[in-house]
């Protein structure tokens, strides 16, 4: 499992561990990646993603996966996130067509 978030692409960062004597050695700062199942109302399915804990909080704050994807710019999303956003938009457009007809 790669240490990157499937929606926002948050990944490993590198920095220095600084000792009391001020020696610096390289270290990794790994994101808190969790496997998460989110329900998409527009698609009518459960989507399994590996998300960082911060992204999960952001998705919940925005009111769910669909509203998060629709309000987030495609440039901030990963390829998988942008693909999911397009699927949600298409599904919502089909629902509106059915309701109009």
Q: How far apart (Å, rounded) are the C-alpha atoms in residues 94 and 98? A: 6
| pTM assigned to the model | 0.86
64: left (phi over 0), alpha (psi -120 to 50) or beta: left
51 to 56, 57, 79, 86: CA distances (angstroms): 6, 10, 14, 19
Q: Name beta bridge partners: 37.
A: 48
Per-residue confidence (pLDDT) for residue 101, from 0 to 100: 73
The 10s digit of each residue's pLDDT in 23-52 is 999 999 999 999 999 999 999 999 999 999
Average pLDDT, the chain: 95
- Nearest of 30, 40, 23 to residue 84 by alpha carbon: 40
């Amino acid at each position: 499992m790669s240490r990157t978030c499937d929606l926002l692409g948050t990944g490993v960062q590198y920095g220095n561990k600084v000792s009391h004597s001020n020696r610096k050695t390289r270290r990794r700062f790994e994101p808190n990646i969790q496997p998460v199942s989110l329900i998409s109302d527009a698609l009518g399915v459960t989507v399994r993603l590996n998300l960082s804990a911060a992204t999960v909080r952001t998705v919940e704050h925005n009111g769910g996966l669909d509203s998060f994807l629709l309000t987030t710019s495609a440039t901030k999303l990963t390829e998988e996130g942008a693909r999911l956003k397009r699927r949600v938009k298409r599904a919502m457009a089909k629902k509106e067509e059915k309701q109009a007809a």
